[in-house]
Chain A
Amino acid sequence: MSVAINGTNGITYNDGSLQPSAIGKNLIINGNMAIAQRATSVTGITSAGYYTCDRWNIANTTAGTWTQTQDTDVPTGQGFATSIKMDCTTADASLAVGDQLGLETRLEGLNCQQLEYGTANAKSTTLSFWVKSNKTGVYTFEYFQPDSSRSISQTYTISVANTWEKKTITIDGDTSGAINNDNGLGLLLKWWLAAGTNWTSGTLATSWATLSNPNRVSSSNVNLADSTSNYINITGVQLEANTTATPFENLQYGQQLALCQRYYWRWTDEHAVSNATFYSTVAVYGVLSFNTTMRAAPTFTVSAAAHFNIFNSAAATAASAFSASRITENSARLNFTASSARTQGQAAWVEIITGAGKYIESDAEL
């Protein structure tokens, strides 16, 4: 098979197909919305947070109530199986000045160094994504770089209702604002879906500039929260150090899951969690090593301590309390309290009991 190397777009094979130019070119993790460890659908969303698809955060300040879904509605023939959907269930047709709604993904500084921001060699980037909504009109996309408190925004237009459209946005590199080479927030990418005048009253910052809230969103931006008929689906998100959009880089599911688990993981019911020891008659301690090194020492949460069984001596006893300690990027000590006493020094193991809604999770999101 003959190939033609195209330094801009990638490799063109003799059958006309264009292949990605580099492995790992996509700076976005879970751009095809394949991973949803927390849930596949969450209703009643009124505040910021991570709900379904990993690495995708909602910013919501009193701009309606939403259902978020890992949806199977995808553009035909593009190789995607899932998208993220925001569906308005309570409208806010009259936004207060500070109201906002946005879909965000956050890039770690360590993964942004190839962009060489803050130098004369700062690279242009191209963002490409597929989007579908009933609500046509102007939308704003924003990069925010917190280390230097700088931002740039561009608009895109959804032209046809209820139809998948591919959008491409290319921006210059920022020669002034360096991104720290650390595990903090390097770049925040935000799809603005609704914005009060606190965010729209200035002149849209279409070149890199010091962050100024009135300049972040176009005054023409739609208010996706203005009707319970409104929804938006997004998938196939790719950000690359390039001046044109190349084909979406599809990772193996396991590769992408591991990338997501640097920031968050959840184990659910019937999962064996850890070997453990009765440190006292009721204090049961175990050590848990993570599947992948996490971004930072994570926060540990369980659905309820009583959702865990401690097994030893051919019997199980429920846990009555839980905490974690000695938490690092790689491991943690899990501290359970047994609801019935056993012999100090006995070995044990801990499992999540059967049933939906029972979990242990570890969160090091940006």
Chain B
Amino acid sequence: MYKKLNDLIENQEADVILRLSDNASIPKDEANTDYQAYLEWVAEGNTPEEADET
């Protein structure tokens, strides 16, 4: 399971995805194998949790 994060400085969605099992911050870099796993998870029809309201 994954969750979006907000970037308080940029006031927009952060450029990372939170992996809820270990609270890892995964950058949206297609060379990152954790992000590749996330993209596969999304391709299977899953949806990440929305970021918390700030």
- Chain A contacts to B: CB under 8 angstroms: 182-184, 279-280, 283, 285, 295-302, 305, 322-328, 363-366
A280 (CB) vs chain B CBs: closest residue: B8
Complex interface: chain A residues within 8 A of B16 (CB): 323-325, 327
**Bound-complex Cα distance A363 to B33 (A):** 9
- What is the minimal beta-carbon distance from A300 to any residue of chain B, in angstroms? 4
- Chain B contacts to A: CB under 8 angstroms: 5, 7-9, 14-16, 18-19, 22-27, 29, 31-35
- What is the minimal beta-carbon distance from A155 to any residue of chain B, in angstroms? 30
Is A327 a contact of B31 with CB atoms below 8 Å? no
B16 (CB) vs chain A CBs: closest residue: A325
The answer, among A279, A297, A326, for a CB contact under 8 Å with B8, is A279
Q: A297-B32, A327-B25 are in contact. List 10 more A-B contacts (CB 8 A).
A: A183-B31, A297-B27, A299-B24, A299-B34, A300-B25, A301-B24, A325-B15, A327-B16, A364-B32, A366-B33
Complex interface: chain B residues within 8 A of A279 (CB): 8-9
B22 (CB) vs chain A CBs: closest residue: A301
Complex interface: chain B residues within 8 A of A283 (CB): 8
- What is the minimal beta-carbon distance from B25 to any residue of chain A, in angstroms? 4
Is A285 a contact of B23 with CB atoms below 8 Å? no
- What is the minimal beta-carbon distance from A48 to any residue of chain B, in angstroms? 12
A302 (CB) vs chain B CBs: closest residue: B23
Complex interface: chain B residues within 8 A of A302 (CB): 23
**Bound-complex Cα distance A285 to B32 (A):** 23
- What is the minimal beta-carbon distance from B39 to any residue of chain A, in angstroms? 14
**Bound-complex Cα distance A280 to B11 (A):** 14
Is A285 a contact of B5 with CB atoms below 8 Å? no
